[in-house]
Amino acid sequence: METAIQTTAQLPQLAHARNPGMPLDLDWVASVQANTSAIERRCATLGGRRSVKKDFQAAWLLKAISLIDLTTLSGDDTWGRVERLCAKARQPVAPWMLERLGMQGLTVGAVCVYHDMVETAVRALEGSGIPVAAVSTGFPAGLSPLHLRLAEITESVKAGAQEIDIVISRRHALTGNWQALYDEMRAMREACGPAHVKAILATGELGTLRNVARASLVCMMAGADFIKTSTGKEPVNATLPVTLTMIRAIRDYQDRTGVKVGYKPAGGISKAKDALLYLALMKDELGLPWLQPDLFRFGASSLLGDIERQLEHHLTGHYSAANRHAMG
């Protein structure tokens, strides 16, 4: 087991420069297409062709934990809930399981909260090295005035957020106003200052995979460090076809500019088996560098609990009740 764990869960962190962006290239944007039937066919076969079992599955699940943005974005969030979530982020798996799996020092990738909870999360995570991500810019609709969205970003960074998850104005993508989307994204990137920016496309509201591909490219041109599928509040959130579309845009952007941009699927990923499919797709399409927290994250609130249950089953042969793996 030890070899399997080390080859996937303990890969070294990879450092790379932030995405500086580039001038908007409308010819490149207009040339982008998406073959929906081919994309869906590729994704439909993924589960049958990419399967890991036993020790190797446990290793991949540990890797998945290190990539989770552990999230609470509810209207009834309290300081106590966020503190419990941060405690879970520090110790995501029971110590006895980690010991038997040959792991130590495992944490999640980040904790994601509303702006009002940033200071609480920063205090609770002090000394852990786990960054705090704030959802800003009128999340989830992104329809507040631009100057207020930019001010919210500034306040979140002042409060200690190291990552900012912004939402784009969907109308720009739906109407093909790529210049407006670029200008908006560029302004948000500048407002983030030293904080990394994740651009949420709300792909379930963009209509077509072609719009998803083009919006992904425009946000990267404007300097997004990550592109992210969803707020988690749309009727349809992260899917494998959307993921394939976005990560191929990431690959094209790197081929053209030499810059690595991260990817974050969010919303609806709650089962360990689903996380394995996303990891397999990332490895197939972008390679091992994109299996590190600086280039890949899961936006999730319940995924960790199911992964814990699967790891306990791997070690004991029995499934435990879900309530034994609460968030905090």
CATH number at residue 234: 3.20.20.70
Asked if the model's pLDDT at residue 2 lies above 50, the reply is no
Q: What is the pLDDT of residues 209-239, one digit of tens each?
A: 999 999 999 999 999 999 999 999 998 999 9
- What's the full length of the chain, in residues? 328
Is 188 a member of any domain?
yes
d(CA 39, CA 18): 29
Asked if the model's pLDDT at residue 327 lies above 90, the reply is no
Residue type, 126: E
Is 119 a member of any domain?
yes
Asked if the model's pLDDT at residue 32 lies above 90, the reply is yes
Is 130 a member of any domain?
yes
Helix (H, G, I), strand (E, B) or coil at 214: helix
Is 17 a member of any domain?
no
Is 208 a member of any domain?
yes
Q: What confidence score (pLDDT) does residue 5 get? A: 44
Please list, in sequence order, all residues whose beta carbon lies within 8 angstroms of the beta carbon of residue 69, skipping any fewer than 6 positions away: 108, 109, 110, 111, 112, 133, 264, 266, 297, 298, 299, 300
Q: What confidence score (pLDDT) does residue 328 get? A: 55
Q: What confidence score (pLDDT) does residue 11 get? A: 38
- Tell me which of 38-47, 161-170, 248-257 is least confident: 38-47
Q: What confidence score (pLDDT) does residue 6 get? A: 42
Asked if the model's pLDDT at residue 39 lies above 50, the reply is yes
pTM of the model as a whole: 0.93
Asked if the model's pLDDT at residue 47 lies above 90, the reply is no
| 12 vs 147 pLDDT, higher one | 147
Give the residue-averaged pLDDT of 241-263: 98
Q: What is the pLDDT of residues 62-80, one digit of tens each?
A: 999 999 999 999 999 999 9
User: Total domain count for the chain?
Assistant: 1
Q: What is the extent of the structural domain holding 219?
A: 2-12+22-325
Q: What is the pLDDT of residues 173-208, one digit of tens each?
A: 999 999 999 999 999 999 999 999 999 999 999 999
Q: What is the pLDDT of residues 77-135, one digit of tens each?
A: 999 999 999 999 999 999 999 999 999 999 999 999 999 999 999 999 999 999 999 99
d(CA 303, CA 308): 9
- With bands split at pLDDT 50, 70 and 90, how would you rate the model's confidence at 322? confident
Asked if the model's pLDDT at residue 324 lies above 60, the reply is yes
What token pair was written down for 320? Answer: 């435990």
Q: What confidence score (pLDDT) does residue 15 get? A: 60
Q: What confidence score (pLDDT) does residue 325 get? A: 75
Asked if the model's pLDDT at residue 16 lies above 90, the reply is no
Active site amino acids? 165, 228, 264
- With bands split at pLDDT 50, 70 and 90, how would you rate the model's confidence at 10? very low
Is 225 a member of any domain?
yes
Q: What confidence score (pLDDT) does residue 66 get? A: 97
d(CA 162, CA 205): 27
Q: What confidence score (pLDDT) does residue 260 get? A: 97
Write down the mean pLDDT value for the chain: 92
Asked if the model's pLDDT at residue 240 lies above 70, the reply is yes
List helix spans (H) across the chain. Answer: 2-9, 26-31, 36-44, 46-49, 54-66, 79-90, 95-101, 118-124, 146-158, 170-174, 178-192, 209-221, 240-257, 272-286, 303-316
- Tell me which of 49-53, 305-309, 311-315 is least confident: 49-53
Q: What confidence score (pLDDT) does residue 3 get? A: 39
Is 173 a member of any domain?
yes
